[in-house]
Amino acid sequence: MNSSDASRNETEPRDASPPARLAGERLEAWYRKSPPLASDDRRPIQEYNDRNLAISAATAGLLVVTFMSLVNVVIPVFGPFLASLLGIWLVIGRSNLIARCFSVLAALLFLTFKAGNGAMNIGMWNELYLAGLTMCTFLAAVLSYVLALVVPRAYQAPSRLAQFSLRGLGGLILAIGLAAALTRGGMTEFLQQPAWNVDQRAIVVSFIAVSVNTALVSLNVLVPKRFRDRKLFWISVGMVMVVTPAIEGSIFSNWFRIPLPIAVLGIAVLHAVVLMIVWSILFCLELAGAFRDEEDLPSTTTEAATGHWEEME
């Protein structure tokens, strides 16, 4: 009996907060019997709560991504969004860079698996669709990398970008070459067509727009949590809800002869829905510890030069 209680106390530290229903004299009596814990005593409680929150966030994020991936097998519509999220994770994700590159490649191959046909002749591991998803991943990764260099400087915050070794740099160059080869190989015949019809142009522009908007939505996670403010949140919302809908609306309005206000409004509504979905995935991944934080950075130049961060989890 005592051993079970002791083991439970080790895994579930005592919480220092009073019960929610206590008030008045009963609350004062609780504080007299249970004095506030010292900072050293609070640390295990905080670590325990953070661990439970990370597990819950990882479960929620995994469920959302799994659902979108399964729907994408039947209706290939979520592929560009998930591919763009993979590009963001490739830039600021935790763990080995080369392992992330191979994980992204495997995920892209899975997302390319499908059933159905469309303007891009989407099929089982169709090279054209794989090239489109690779383009989304590559474009989102490049934009996220640039934003991750600029935005933290404005907030005088540490960057979430990796300080990788020569081995990691070599792997990154190979990954870029592979992405370029997949994109070029899959789109060669498509690009050699004398003219694109409206549907084909719309799909290409939509893929690019998805990557750009996903990178803009990720502005918040590019800065470590304790350095953020509401200004960054509203900048991200303004770019995704006002600036990009106006640009996309003008393009699609001209191509499909749709009144400009209706086109902009429809795209803004679509962006609002996508904004909530992408944020839910990004913040779940962040709570689960999928993104690098300032404490993950190498503490010395020697560690950075030898790629010590790659071994950190």
Q: pLDDT tens-digit profile of 85-129?
A: 999 998 888 877 778 888 888 888 888 775 344 444 444 457 778
> Is the pLDDT confidence value at 262 over 70?
yes
- Residue-wise pLDDT for 34-72, tens only, equals 656 555 555 665 666 666 766 776 677 677 777 777 776
Residue type, 22: L
End-to-end, the C-alpha distance of the chain in Å comes to 36
Burial 229-261 (b: 16+ CB within 10 A, else e): eeebeeebbebbbeebbeebbebbbeeeeeeee
Q: What is the pLDDT of residue 304?
A: 42
Token reading at 76: 């290939």
Q: What is the pLDDT of residue 235?
A: 92
**How far apart (Å, rounded) are the C-alpha atoms in residues 22 and 128?**
63
Q: What is the pLDDT of residue 56?
A: 73
Instruction: Find the helix or strand (DSSP H, E) in which 72 lies.
Output: helix 39-74
The residues near 38 (Cβ < 8 Å, ≥ 6 apart) are none
**How far apart (Å, rounded) are the C-alpha atoms in residues 311 and 259?**
54
**How far apart (Å, rounded) are the C-alpha atoms in residues 211 and 294?**
26
Long-range Cβ contacts of 275-281 (<8 Å, 24+ apart): 275/217, 275/237, 275/240, 275/241, 277/64, 277/68, 277/81, 278/81, 278/85, 278/214, 278/217, 278/218, 279/217, 279/220, 280/60, 280/61, 280/64, 281/61, 281/64, 281/65, 281/85
Give the pLDDT band (50/70/90) at residue 215: very high
